[in-house]
Each structure stands twice: as structure tokens, then as C-alpha cells.
Structure 1
Amino acid sequence: MSSVLYDAQGPRAKRRNILYTVGFLLVMAAVLWWVISGLNDKDQLAWEKWKPFLGGTEAWSTYIWPGLKNTLEAAALSMIIALPLGAVLGIARLSEHAWVRVPVAIVVEFFRAIPVLVLMIFGLALFAEYTTVGSDDRPLYAVVTGLVLYNASVLAEIVRAGIQSLPKGQGEAALAIGLRKNQVMRFILLPQAVTAMLPAIISQLVVIVKDTALGGAVLTFPDLLAAVSPMSSYYGANTIASFTIVAIVFIAINFSLTSFASWLEKRLRRGKKSTGAVLPAAAVAGADSTGASA
């Protein structure tokens, strides 16, 4: 069966693809065997290396859970601050007033261009020099500051692109029936743009969770990644096992976020029977009274 974008494969192409698939699987199996053999030769697969994580709860309660708590705390604070800040900046970039649009664009482009690690280091120095934040709390403040500044600017671009992706006729029609600009944004554009923006927003939230590890690696922030070093030293240099368990925890968190985003997106799409936004009765009544008074 052929289409405009796809031609059906012939017998030779099918055989060639099967050979490519078999060859790729053989190469992957060889690489996997080489890795497992190397780890086994260095006793990294011995039960003693994995026993603290699979045969007891001491490692979890002493190292993993406290580090995971700090990671989730930093990520949650960053999300709570960055999401509304990014939405405000994204909407401000669409302002018709140049004195609003231009400064916001400069701020967004500036912080979007700086690596998040540089922002964290700068934040640590700033809190140490100009504030009374204690030395124990500075790494958390610095990590949250860096994540908020960088991700809010990225989220601002996501919001701006999501709103601009909507047909211009919808906003023009809403203005024509008497809605004010803020009502058009709140009741017409944003509700529709949320569904389109949701996958990108959740992807950015996953980035926030992963980037907390930068604080543990550089700023001595006691996050989940920072727990690997003392945990590995205490249990006899089981570095591979420690990193593997931490990686699995990160994968579980990010997979949960992605799965929730997919479920929420499908639910929002099912709830919308048409492309038009449904206005509350109070909003329409308010708009009518505004038009009548004009």
C-alpha cells in the first residue's frame, strides 16, 4: 500500500530491513555482554555490592530518602515559582506596548542564554555576600534561584509560542463582541493554548527535576545525586550499584511526570468538543454590559 508520503517496500527492501534489524540486535547484544562481563570481572555484580539496596532499608532511610526529599523540595519550589513567572513573562512578551514587550524580551533572552549552572553559582555567591541566609540553606536557595531564572525564561517562550499558534481570528472575534483584551487572554486564548503547551511544559518540569543534580555535584547541595559518594564509601566502594539505584529513582520520577502529562493531555482533549473556548456566563454578561455602556 502506497501513499503520497510513503511507498510500500518491495521484497528486497523487506529482506534488507530484516537483515539490518538482526544486525543491530546482534551488535546491541554484544555490547551488553561486554558491559556485563566487564562489571562481573571487577566484582561489581556481586551480591555484596547490591545487598544494601535490595536486602535492607538502611541505605534507603539513611541516604536515598533524605537526598530524594531535598531533590523534590528544590524541584517543587522551582516549579511553583517558575510556572506563574514564565506565564507572566510569556504574556508580557505579547504586549502591544513596547515599554513592556522590549524589556521583558531582553530579560527572557538573557537568562535563557546563560547555563543554569552559572546561574546557580552566581546565586550562591550572591546569597553569601549580600544576604543573611545561613550556610546550610544557601545551596538550596542557589539551586532554586538558578532553576527559576532559567526555566521561567524557557517557559515564557513556550507560553508565547503556544498563544501565537492559535488562529488570530479567535482573538479578533472576541474583541468584536466586546471582550476586553485581558478577557480574551484569560477566557479565549489561554484555555486553548494550555493543551498545546502541556507536553512542552511537562518536558521542562522534567528538566527541572534533573537539573537539581547540578547543585549536588557542584554546590554541595545534599540532593539525591550527592548521596552517592557517602553511600558508596560506606558500603565498600559500590559506586556502580549506587549510581544505578539513583538513576532508577530519577527515571521513576520523570516517567511519572511524563505519564501524568499524557493522561492530562488526553483528558483535556476529550473534554473539548470543539476548537472554540467556552466562556462562563458571568464573563459574557460582563462583556455585554461593558459593550452596552460604551
Structure 2
Amino acid sequence: MSGSVLYDVPGPRAIARNRVIGVITIAVVVAIIGFFVWRLIATGQFSAQKWIGFTYTRIWEQIAMATLRTLAAFGAAAVGALILGFVLAIGRLSDRAWIRWPVTAITEFLRAVPVLVMMFLLYYGLPVIGVDMPSYWAVVIALIAYNGSVLAEVIRAGVESLPRGQGEAGYSIGLRKSGVMRLILLPQAIRAMMPVIISQLVVTLKDTALGFIITYEELLLLAKQLGAANTIGRPIVQMTMVVAVIYIGMCLLLSLLARVAEKRMSRSPKVQGAARKLEEDPRRHDDGTDTELIAQQRL
């Protein structure tokens, strides 16, 4: 029986047991969803009267504007978090202790402070010292600080998980630490950590909903306001369902774009060419690393 790196391949009894557990799990999940749907139907949440507010164009215009504001906060936070993540990761990987230790302290501090607490400090705390910050920037900066520190640890872990021969190959042909990091280690770490990076960006997108607590006009705040409006029958449940569908759609779209990017990276002619040459060329280290090819292909 062949084995796996992480665990042994399950035998017939284990396969049968796993199938039974899978069927039971699916049945429980379907039962829970069915119960909630039944309660929504029993309480009349799908009646036409409850959804009449969504027949007005003005309602959908407000939903569209709130969605754009959500995406605006997410876009700025995602770019900022990626930049901060790379900066902190490189700092943590530095050979100089006077750089590595302060960056490590900053990273751990940003990871330890909850996003909502950071938003409160920026939005309600700064005015105490005479600095007024708009709710948009409070949301964006808080998301950048937290998610950037998390991405820094992801990137650092990805770099340190690579074989030592990858870096030694670059040093052996005269590359400095910056060249080894930029041309050899970081590109490979990013490819390996791409699913985790995208998962963290999805978390960033969902965390924009916390902005409603500091009155940032995103989707959740709009759902709260319209759901409590007497003019359209207070459709709080209906607005919540619509907003949930929008968030799910945005997260699925982000995951789809990530899969497309990952496939394109794996199909890159440089990557495939390097892989073929590494298989054909006998000049390798013991761990399978080819010094000259890695530097030339700039993986």
C-alpha cells in the first residue's frame, strides 16, 4: 500500500467510515438549512408584501452605491495590506537584528489588536488629540494594519519553507540577499502561498462590514437603515439576505480570479521551461536545486 507524506492512505474500512461520516454531515447541514428555510416560509418572510421595497429603483441604486463603497474600502485595504505584508515579511527575514526585532514587534502588535478596536481607536480616539479621521480611512487603515501583519507571517512562512538550496544557489553566483529574495525566494513563496493569501483577502473583504459600527456607509449599514425603514415595511430579514448574497457573490468572484491567476502562474513558460531543464540537466544540488538555472529563469 502506497503512503502519503502527511498520513497513510486509508484502507477499505476507513474509506467506508469516512463515507458514512460524510453522508451524515451533509444530511445534518441540509437539515439545518431546511429548518431555517421552513421557518422563514412559516413566518411569511418570502411573501410578496415583504419584498415590495425591492421593486423600487431607488432601493437598488442605494444598494449599488453601498456595494461600490464596500469595494472601494476593500480595494484600498487589499493593496495596502499586500504592500505592508511584503515590507514586514522582508524586515522579519533580515539578517540585521536591529531591523528584524523592531519589525517583529510591530508585526506581533498589529496582529494582536482586533480590527474593530483599531477602527475605534482611529475614529473615536484620534479626535481626542485633535485629529479627525473620516470613517472610510479608519476602516481602510485598520484593515491594512491587521491583514498586512497576517500576510507578513504568511509570506515569511512561505519563504522559510523553501529548500535552503534555493537561496544558496543565488549566493553561489554572486547575488546579494536582496537579489536572492527578489528573484528567487519571493516569487516561489508567493506561488506556494497564493491560496492562503487569497483566503486572507476574502477575510479583508468580509471585515469591511465592521465599518458600519463607525458609521461607514457600506452594505451592512445600508441593510440596517433600510431594514428599519417604515416606508418599505421594515424588511430587515430580506435586506440581510440580499446583502449576504452580494457578499457571497463578491467572495466567490475573488476566489475565481485567484484560481485563474494561479493557473496562469503555473502555466508560465518560464516556470515550465525551468522545470523541464531541471529534469534534464544533471548539474544539481542534493536537494534538486540547479544553481545556474534558478538564477537564469529568475523564479
TM-score interval (norm. to shorter):
0.7 to 0.9
2:11 aligned residue (4, 7, 10)? 7
CA spacing shift, 1:85–1:242, aligned 2, 3 Å: same
CA apart distance, 1:5: 1.8
CA apart distance, 1:50: 2.3
CA spacing shift, 1:131–1:152, aligned 2, 3 Å: farther
- Please give the TM-score of this superposition, normalised by the length of structure 2: 0.82
Q: Where does 1:168-207 land on structure 2 (aligned, <5 Å)? A: 168-207=164-203
CA spacing shift, 1:10–1:228, aligned 2, 3 Å: closer
Note the residue ranges of structure 1 that are not aligned, 5 or more in a row. Answer: 284-294
2:68 is aligned with 1:69: yes
CA apart distance, 1:157: 0.5
CA apart distance, 1:29: 5.2
Which residue type is aligned with residue 60 of structure 2? W
CA spacing shift, 1:175–1:20, aligned 2, 3 Å: closer
2:102 is aligned with 1:103: yes
RMSD (Å) for aligned C-alpha atoms: 2.7
CA apart distance, 1:77: 1.1
3-state DSSP of counterpart to 2:102:
helix
Higher relative contact order (CA 8 A, sep 6+): 1
Give the percent of matched residue pairs that are identical in Structure 1 and Structure 2: 38
Deviations 1:207-236 (A, max 9, x none): 1111111111x1111111100122122421
3-state DSSP of counterpart to 1:48:
coil
CA spacing shift, 1:10–1:127, aligned 2, 3 Å: closer
CA distance in 1, matches of 2:105, 2:86: 16
CA apart distance, 1:132: 5.1
Deviations 1:25-57 (A, max 9, x none): 66555544432332233221101222433x453
Note the residue ranges of structure 2 that are not aligned, 5 or more in a row. Answer: 279-289
Which residue type is aligned with residue 187 of structure 2? P
2:211 is aligned with 1:221: no
Deviations 1:42-80 (A, max 9, x none): 221101222433x4533110x211211111111111112
Q: Where does 1:26-45 land on structure 2 (aligned, <5 Å)? A: 27-28=28-29, 30-45=31-46
Q: Which stretch shifts more, 231-240 or 242-251?
A: 231-240
Which residue type is aligned with residue 231 of structure 1? L
CA distance in 2, matches of 1:193, 1:257: 20
Q: In 1, are the aligned partners of 2:220 and 2:243 still within 8 Å (CA)?
A: yes
